[in-house]
């Protein structure tokens, strides 16, 4: 395309963007303070609490929705849903929607959760007198500040007195003060039950699900590695003597594994769908600096490589740096309820940090079990990701630290006195893959300038093998072989990555149209 043509396209894009923002500005001019409060409440699952606190106008809310792609010029339906919900239906014409169109689309395109809708509908029917009575009953646990019905319900939610699975307190209040609201709560329960009910399982995959509670059945490290005792000792010997580590891959315990193995061999053509509206989201948690642990130089190179390769594969990449325990929980909750999953093919979550067996460190020094991170995305917790591949990659040590050489560092912290809860297995159902940089009990290595052995190998093999239409497990096998051959300059430090999975089909990413340039 000529430079003149590119300039013309750029000008047209800019004009379109200005026009859409002009539309949002017009909508904002019709919205009052009460409307803004209602919008903020409805967006509690879409915008982080910290950012919501900063929103003083509808424009502030629109800005965050635009930044996170909840709202785009091509697809403004989320805003249409919000305006419809707060009864500003006359404003739908600015988005070129009619009331009837929104009503028809809501059952399949709804982005506000059932729980959020329930609370909003209840707030609409709680009069000021009803509210006073509810506050009176809970006076000892409610701050003495002016409250609306929305802020009252938001407070109960923030204090974890109510949530989507626990409405006991709310039911008690409604029964005593506004009994007719119980119909809305009962309706919510029915809709929620039908929403999370799993569809019928095909016969060829039925045995995979029966009795499957955990990815790896163990209560401590010995049980986890119990299926491979000789290989485990062999690796430990290789670590201490500088010999080449023997490549291993984690065998999943239980009858479901045999089923998975036989399915893989007999159904070679079974692959996950990769033709929805977008590939999905890739989250990268990149911890470089810590309050009480050593820094991780080289990790920014890893984060940048992950961003480049997953954007190349079509993912929408979100990177979070130096994430505290509280911030991590916000990120997990945000993506657990993200409506964009409904139109995505896949989900990827990467963690670059220090670690111990079965857990990773937040930037403020808290140990977070890997199990806890993954549990946010099960079919029950995140229905929009049901039957879709969920890939987790962890660059962190899973065992004891040794003295590193000058240019090689270990992503480990002294493992003594690990809390028993961290010895638990990693919980997961079908359609999960966990890629650990190293086998449990051992360390992983990171070059202070070039990045970690594992992430750099993953980046290079995705770049090289996706165009050959290799599936993700074949790619990770190549990563295992590559990393197992690496060593520090003295040849004494070795590493063996560890994949574990309950995938039912092959994960084959479509070949990108453009080459990934170095």
Q: What is the mean pLDDT of residues 350-379?
A: 89
Partners of 42 in the β-ladder: none
Indicate the range of 14-18, 60-64, 403-407 predicted with least confidence: 403-407
Judged against a pLDDT cut of 90, whether residue 63 lies above it is answered with: yes
Backbone angles phi, psi at 348, to 5 degrees: -125, 135
Location of structure tokens 């485990």 = 232
Judged against a pLDDT cut of 70, whether residue 377 lies above it is answered with: yes
CA distance 358 to 220: 10
Q: What is the 3-state secondary structure (H, E, C) of 131-168?
A: HHHHHHHCHHHCCCCCCCHHHHHHHHHHCCCCECCECH
Which distant-in-sequence residues (6+ apart) come within 8 Å of 395 by Cβ?
299, 302, 350, 351, 352, 353, 411, 437, 444, 446, 452, 454, 455
Helix (H) or strand (E) holding 410: strand 408-410
**pLDDT band for position 413 (cuts 50, 70, 90):** very low
Judged against a pLDDT cut of 80, whether residue 350 lies above it is answered with: yes
Pair of tokens at residue 407: 């240019």
Mean confidence (pLDDT) of the chain: 76
Active site residues: 354, 397
Q: What angle do CA 308, 350, 406 make, to 5 degrees?
A: 85
**pLDDT band for position 218 (cuts 50, 70, 90):** very low
Residue 367 near residue 356 (C-beta atoms within 8 A): yes
């Amino acid at each position: 395309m000529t430079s003149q043509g590119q300039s013309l396209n750029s000008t047209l894009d800019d004009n379109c963007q200005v026009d859409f923002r002009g539309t949002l500005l017009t909508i904002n001019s019709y919205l009052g303070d009460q409307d803004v409060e209602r919008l903020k409440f409805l967006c509690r699952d879409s915008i982080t609490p910290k950012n919501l606190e900063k929103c003083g106008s509808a424009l502030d809310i629109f800005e965050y929705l635009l930044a996170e792609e909840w709202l785009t010029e091509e697809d403004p339906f989320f805003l249409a849903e919000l305006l419809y919900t707060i009864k500003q239906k006359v404003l739908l014409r600015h988005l070129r929607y009619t009331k009837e169109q929104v009503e028809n689309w809501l059952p399949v395109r709804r982005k506000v959760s059932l729980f959020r809708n329930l609370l909003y509908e209840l707030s609409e029917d709680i009069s000021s007198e009803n509210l006073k009575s509810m506050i009176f009953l809970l006076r000892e646990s409610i701050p003495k500040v002016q409250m609306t019905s929305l802020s009252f319900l938001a407070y109960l939610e923030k204090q974890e007195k109510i949530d989507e699975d626990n409405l006991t307190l709310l039911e008690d209040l409604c029964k005593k003060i506004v009994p007719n609201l119980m119909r809305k709560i009962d309706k919510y329960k029915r809709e929620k039950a039908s929403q999370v009910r799993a569809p019928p399982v095909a016969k060829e995959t039925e045995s995979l699900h029966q009795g499957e509670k955990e990815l790896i059945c163990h209560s401590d490290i010995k049980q986890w590695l119990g299926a491979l005792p000789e290989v485990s000792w062999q690796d430990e010997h290789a670590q201490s003597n500088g010999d080449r580590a023997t490549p291993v891959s984690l065998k999943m315990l239980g009858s479901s594994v045999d089923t998975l193995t036989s399915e893989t061999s007999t159904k070679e053509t079974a692959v996950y769908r990769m033709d929805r509206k977008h590939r999905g989201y890739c989250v990268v948690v990149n911890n470089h600096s810590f309050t009480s642990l050593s820094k991780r130089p080289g990790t920014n190179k890893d984060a940048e490589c992950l961003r480049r390769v997953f954007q190349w594969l079509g993912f929408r990449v979100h990177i979070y740096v130096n994430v505290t325990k509280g911030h991590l929980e916000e990120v997990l909750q945000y993506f657990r309820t993200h409506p964009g999953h409904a139109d995505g093919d896949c989900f990827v979550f990467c963690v670059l940090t220090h670690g111990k067996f079965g857990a990773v460190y937040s930037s403020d020094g808290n140990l977070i079990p890997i199990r806890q991170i993954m549990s946010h995305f099960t079919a029950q917790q995140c229905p929009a990701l049901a039957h879709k591949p969920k890939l987790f990659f962890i660059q962190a040590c899973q065992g004891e630290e040794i003295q590193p050489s000058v240019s090689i560092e270990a992503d480990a912290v002294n493992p003594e006195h690990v809390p028993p809860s961290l010895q638990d297995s990693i919980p997961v159902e079908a359609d999960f893959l966990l890629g650990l940089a190293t086998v449990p009990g051992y360390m992983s290595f990171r070059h202070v300038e070039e990045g970690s052995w594992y992430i750099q190998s993953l980046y290079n093999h995705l770049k090289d093998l996706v165009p050959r239409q290799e599936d993700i497990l074949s790619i990770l096998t190549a990563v295992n072989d590559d990393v197992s051959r690496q060593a520090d300059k003295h040849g004494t430090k070795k590493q063996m990555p560890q994949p574990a999975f309950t995938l039912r089909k092959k994960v084959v990413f479509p070949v990108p149209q453009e080459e990934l340039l170095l």
